[in-house]
Amino acid sequence: MRFEFTEEQAEIKRAAREFAEKEFTSEKGREHDEKYEFPWEFYRKAGKLGFTGASFSEKYGGQGLGCIEACIIAEEFYRVDSTLAAILAGVGFAGLVEKFGTEEQKEKYIPRICKGEITCAMALTEPGHGSDAGMVGLDTKAVKDGGSWKINGTKTFITCGDIAEFTIVCCQTDPNASPPHRGVTQIIVEKGTPGLDVTSLKPKMGLRGAPQAEMAFSDVRVPLSNLLGQENRGFHQIMSYFDFSRTPIAASAVGIAQGAFERALKYSTEREQFFQPIHRFQFTQWKIAEMAMKIEAARLLTYKTAWLIDHKPENTRLITKFASMAKAYAAKTGIEVTDEALQIYAGYGYVDSDMERFYRDARILDIIEGTGEIQRYIVARENYREMNLPLP
C-alpha cells in the first residue's frame, strides 16, 4: 500500500482546498447554520467544477474517481466548513442508482446530480426502527397494485428528504420473509408524488445546512419500473453501499477534526494569559499533541480503507470490517478533537465562534449510517469470523 497520493490525487486535494477556502467563509457557514439553509449556490458551483460528480462514471457526466478521491474531497470540504460539506449529503445516495439502477434510471438522475442541479435522499429509518431498520421488518410497506407500487408508512430523519428530487425508499415488500431483511425492496419516489407528505425537522443540534425531514407515505403510487435493483434485495443493496459510503464519512470526521485543530493551534499562539501565550503551557502542548496523533491515526485508517475499496479485494468482508473501523474511530476522533479545540478557546469557543459549530457538527458523524455501537458490533463480529470462532 502506498502512503502518498498520486499526482492526480494531490491535484484534486489542491483543487478541493482552493475551492473550499475561496468560496466559503465563516460568515456564510454561520448564516446557513442559523437559517437551516442548504447551500444551493455552492452545490451548483461544486457541480460545475466536478466535485458532486467525482465518484460517478464519466458515461453519466461524472469524473469516474475512486474512494480515495471521494475521501480527499470530503476531508478538504469539512476542514474549511461543515456547512459547505453539507453539499456532499445531497449527492451520496445517487451512488445506489449508479450501482443498482436500470440504464433509464441512471440516465434520468445521475447527470443532473453530477451537474449539481438536483439532490437525492435515501429513506431507511422509521420512527420505530433505527439501528434495527430492516433487520426486524420495516413498518413501511409496499404492495403491487395494478401497474404500480402502493406505499404506506413513515420515514424519519431523512437527509435532504425535503429538497430531494427523488428519494430511494426502503419498503417491506415481503412481510413473511425470514429473516425479515430478505423482504426489503428499494423503490424510487419522486418529489411531489401525491400522497407523500414531507415535514422538515427542526430544531437540531448541528449540520444544519443538510436538512432532515419526516416523510409520510399514504397510498403513494409509483410505477413498477421505479423498483431500484432487485425486489427483496434492498437491504443487501444498502449494506453493500454502506461499505463504500462509510469511508467518506470517516474522512469527513478527519476533516472536521483537522479544521478545529488548525484553528486551536493558531489561537493558542495568540491568546495570552499569565502574561504569555497559552501555547507556552505544557497542558496546551499536551492537548495539541494528543489531537495531532488522533487525527493522523484516524486519517491513516480512513485512507487505508479507501485504498482497500479501490483495490477491490476478493474478500469483501475485509472492506466491511475496515469501513466500520474507520467510521467508528474517525467519528470519535472528530468529537474528541472538536471538544479539546473548544477547550483551548474556552469562553471564546463557546460564545460567538466557529468552534461551537464545529463541535456541534462533529457529533452527528457517530450516529448516521450506523451508530458507533453498531460499527463496533460489526468490527467485533468480523474479527470472530476471521478466526473461525463462534459469532457473537
Ligand X SMILES: Cc1cc2nc3c(=O)[nH]c(=O)nc-3n(C[C@H](O)[C@H](O)[C@H](O)COP(=O)(O)OP(=O)(O)OC[C@H]3O[C@@H](n4cnc5c(N)ncnc54)[C@H](O)[C@@H]3O)c2cc1C
Nearest to 163 by CA among 128, 130, 212: 212
346 touches 356 (CB < 8 A) = no
Q: Does 36 bind ligand X (CB under 6 A)?
A: no
Least separation in angstroms between CB 161 and ligand X: 7
Alpha carbon distance 213, 160 (integer Å): 7
Tell me which of 13, 49, 130, 174 binds ligand X, using CB under 6 A: 130
Counting Cβ atoms within 10 Å, is residue 254 exposed (0-12), middle (13-18) or buried (19+)? buried
Q: Does 277 bind ligand X (CB under 6 A)?
A: no
Pick the closer one to ligand X by CB: 239 or 367: 367
Pick the closer one to ligand X by CB: 156 or 353: 156
Q: Does 377 bind ligand X (CB under 6 A)?
A: yes
Q: Does 131 bind ligand X (CB under 6 A)?
A: yes
Question: Where is 10: in which H helix or E strand?
Answer: helix 7-23
Counting Cβ atoms within 10 Å, is residue 36 exposed (0-12), middle (13-18) or buried (19+)? middle
Least separation in angstroms between CB 95 and ligand X: 13
Least separation in angstroms between CB 367 and ligand X: 5
Least separation in angstroms between CB 170 and ligand X: 7
- Strands 141-145, 196-200: pairing is unpaired
Q: Does 368 bind ligand X (CB under 6 A)?
A: yes
Q: Does 124 bind ligand X (CB under 6 A)?
A: yes
Q: Which residues 154-173 are close enough to bind ligand X by CB under 6 A? A: 157-159
Pick the closer one to ligand X by CB: 250 or 308: 250
Q: What are phi and psi of 168, to 5 degrees?
A: -90, 110
Alpha carbon distance 36, 341 (integer Å): 24
- Strands 212-223, 272-273: pairing is unpaired
Least separation in angstroms between CB 128 and ligand X: 8
Q: Judge whether 107 counts as a catalytic residue.
A: no
Binding mask 102-121 for ligand X (x = CB under 6 A): -------------------x
Alpha carbon distance 116, 188 (integer Å): 19
Question: Where is 235: in which H helix or E strand?
Answer: helix 234-270
Binding mask 198-227 for ligand X (x = CB under 6 A): --------------x---------------
User: Can you count the helices (H) and strands (E) in the chain?
Assistant: 13, 10
Q: Does 371 bind ligand X (CB under 6 A)?
A: yes
Stretch that binds ligand X, among 125-133, 146-154, 215-223, 304-312 (CB under 6 A): 125-133
Tell me which of 85, 122, 251, 278 binds ligand X, using CB under 6 A: 122
Alpha carbon distance 163, 165 (integer Å): 7
Stretch that binds ligand X, among 229-237, 243-251, 342-350, 366-374 (CB under 6 A): 366-374
Q: Does 123 bind ligand X (CB under 6 A)?
A: yes
Is the peptide bond prior to 179 cis by the omega test (within 30 degrees of 0)? yes
Least separation in angstroms between CB 268 and ligand X: 31
Q: What's 313's DSSP letter? A: -
Stretch that binds ligand X, among 152-160, 291-299, 312-320, 381-389 (CB under 6 A): 152-160
User: How many of the chain's residues bind ligand X (CB under 6 A)?
Assistant: 19
DSSP assignment string, 76-124:
HHHHH-HHHHHHHHTTTTHHHHHHH--HHHHHHHHHHHHTTS--EEEE-
Q: Does 232 bind ligand X (CB under 6 A)?
A: no
Which candidate in 369, 373, 382, 386 is catalytic? 369
Catalytic positions are 369
Which spans of this chain sit near ligand X (rule: CB under 6 A)? 121-125, 130-131, 157-159, 212, 364, 367-368, 370-371, 373-374, 377
